[in-house]
């Protein structure tokens, strides 16, 4: 395996993530078992913040002309404009027989293990989630949703509506309402309304010992409490084991995980505030969303992040992200110039990904 040092393969074992086998801060950090081929780090010339942005792209998504290059170029330059460290993982961090989704919480755990002096906050973004409002930053969200609370993680639900960040008609999403929601009630609410469940596409984690405990529980499939493939047939078909486990994570620590509506930082790309208004949007694109313009409607708003989730046509994603990058590049270049940073053109990186390193 080129992914890890062969002297220590313990990061591949689910058991090494549970607190029964490792203390929250004890033992060799999993991150230091990886070698440089698994990930790439970009650090701005001026690190004005200890926010670390992390994403994951498989190698095929980083080939010339692939949508991953356009998405990554937007997010990387946005991160630099705010002084954030940016990391991508491009190799699977879970066992090959398991879905790729399990690599995502592990990538966040690896960032946390670098310590709060390096990554005080970890901002995780799916590869197909891109910053739409390039002037927006993570700090206002930290101030609004973490300050003065016990919150360790900020996630979003599948609803786009609700007051003060609430998920409309969901009782068990907000950390401040924990007295109303036991683990059983949280899981029951999901069964009644799946829109209330957390979406793991975009989230923020505070680097604390307690957050390590939460992330090791999630990355280790809850020590057997989570199904590796998902519980329902639809979850198994789509490889949503890690996604479903995030719901069990929320149910287990309801007061430490705040789940807000998707408008805050994880809006589906096809949302159109003029068309949908306060109506509930679908979880997957509907047949009537046929034109590229409709699939890009979120990018016409001032929403922080637009997430092109649910699209199985990579050509559509490529066209969307190429068009959005063309519109956002001038603003990104201006922001970088003001910050004393240089624009990074991922589109023109070498064809051979290993040459990036």
Give the list of residues 6+ apart from residue 296 with CB closer than 8 angstroms, or none.
269, 270, 320, 323, 324
Nearest-5° Cα angle at 111, 75 to 18: 135
Residue 191 exposure: Cα atoms within 13 Å on the Cβ side: 10
Strand partners, 155: 259
Q: Where does the pLDDT of residue 291 fall: very low under 50, low under 70, confident under 90, or very high at 90 and above?
A: low
* Highest mean pLDDT: which range of 101-110, 200-209, 300-309: 200-209
* Rounded average pLDDT over 140-158: 96
Tell me which of 89-98, 101-110, 303-312 is least confident: 89-98
β-pair type (153-157, 257-260): parallel
Report pTM: 0.88
- H or E segment and range at residue 273: helix 273-276
Q: pLDDT (tens digit, 9 = 90+) per residue, 37-90?
A: 788 999 999 999 999 999 999 889 999 999 999 999 999 999 999 999 999 998
Strand order in the sheet with 305-307: 129-131, 305-307, 267-268
249 token code pair:
């994570």
Backbone angles phi, psi at 174, to 5 degrees: -80, 140
* Whole-angstrom distance, CA of residue 311 vs CA of residue 57: 16
159 token code pair:
């609803």
Q: Pick the more confident residue, 320 or 211.
A: 211
Q: Is residue 185 scored above 70 in pLDDT?
A: yes
Q: Pick the more confident residue, 325 or 285.
A: 325
* Rounded average pLDDT over 103-130: 94
* Whole-angstrom distance, CA of residue 348 vs CA of residue 335: 21
Q: pLDDT (tens digit, 9 = 90+) per residue, 191-246?
A: 888 889 999 999 999 999 999 999 999 988 888 888 887 788 877 777 788 999 99
β-pair type (85-89, 129-131): unpaired
Q: What is residue 292's predicted lDDT score, i.e. its pLDDT?
A: 53
Q: Where does the pLDDT of residue 177 fall: very low under 50, low under 70, confident under 90, or very high at 90 and above?
A: confident
3-state secondary structure of 243: helix
Q: Is residue 280 scored above 60 in pLDDT?
A: no
Q: Do residues 5 and 33 lie in contact, with contact meaning Cβ atoms separated by under 8 Å? A: yes
Looking up tokens 């950090």 gives 29
* Rounded average pLDDT over 315-324: 88
Q: pLDDT (tens digit, 9 = 90+) per residue, 150-159?
A: 999 999 998 8
Q: Is residue 287 scored above 70 in pLDDT?
A: no
CA distances from 31 to 42, 67, 108, 129 (A): 16, 27, 10, 24
Q: What is residue 272's predicted lDDT score, i.e. its pLDDT?
A: 63
Q: Where does the pLDDT of residue 330 fall: very low under 50, low under 70, confident under 90, or very high at 90 and above?
A: very high
* Whole-angstrom distance, CA of residue 66 vs CA of residue 130: 15
* Whole-angstrom distance, CA of residue 89 vs CA of residue 112: 14
Percent of the chain clearing pLDDT 90 (strictly above): 50
* Rounded average pLDDT over 176-192: 84
Give the DSSP letter string of 101-166.
GGHHHHHHHHHHTT-TTT-SEEEEE-TTEEESSTT--SHHHHHHHTTTS---EEEEES----GGGP
Percent of the chain clearing pLDDT 70 (strictly above): 80
Q: Where does the pLDDT of residue 4 fall: very low under 50, low under 70, confident under 90, or very high at 90 and above?
A: very low
């Amino acid at each position: 395996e080129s992914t890890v040092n062969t002297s220590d393969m313990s990061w591949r074992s689910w058991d090494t993530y549970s607190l029964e086998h490792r203390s929250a801060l004890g033992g060799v950090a999993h991150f230091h078992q990886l070698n440089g081929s698994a990930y790439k780090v970009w650090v701005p010339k001026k690190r004005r913040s200890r926010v670390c942005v992390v994403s994951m792209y498989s190698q095929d998504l980083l080939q010339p002309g692939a949508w991953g290059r356009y998405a990554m170029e937007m997010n990387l330059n946005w991160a630099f404009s705010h002084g954030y460290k940016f990391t991508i993982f491009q190799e699977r961090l879970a066992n090959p027989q398991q879905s790729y989704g399990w690599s995502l919480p592990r990538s966040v755990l690896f960032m946390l293990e670098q310590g709060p002096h390096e990554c005080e906050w970890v901002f995780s973004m799916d590869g197909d989630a891109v910053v739409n409002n390039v002037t927006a930053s993570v700090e206002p969200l930290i101030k609004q949703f973490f300050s003065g609370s016990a919150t360790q993680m900020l996630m979003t639900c599948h609803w786009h509506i609700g007051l003060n960040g609430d998920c409309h008609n969901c009782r068990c999403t907000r950390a401040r309402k924990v007295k109303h929601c036991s683990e059983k009630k949280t899981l029951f609410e999901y069964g009644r309304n799946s829109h209330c469940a957390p979406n793991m596409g975009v989230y923020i984690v505070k680097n604390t010992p307690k957050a390590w405990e939460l992330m090791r529980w999630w990355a280790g499939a809850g020590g057997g409490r989570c199904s590796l493939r998902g519980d329902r047939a639809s979850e198994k078909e789509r490889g949503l084991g890690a996604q479903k486990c995030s719901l069990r994570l929320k149910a287990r620590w309801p007061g430490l995980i705040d789940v807000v509506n998707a408008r805050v930082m994880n809006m589906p790309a096809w949302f159109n505030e003029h068309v949908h208004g306060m109506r509930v949007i679908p979880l997957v694109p509907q047949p009537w969303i046929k034109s590229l313009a409709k699939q890009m409607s979120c990018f016409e708003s001032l929403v922080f992040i637009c997430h092109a989730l649910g699209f199985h046509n990579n050509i559509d994603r490529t066209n969307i992200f190429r068009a959005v990058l063309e519109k956002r590049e001038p603003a990104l270049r201006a922001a970088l110039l003001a910050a004393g940073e240089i624009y990074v053109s991922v589109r023109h990186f070498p064809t051979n990904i290993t040459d990036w390193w």
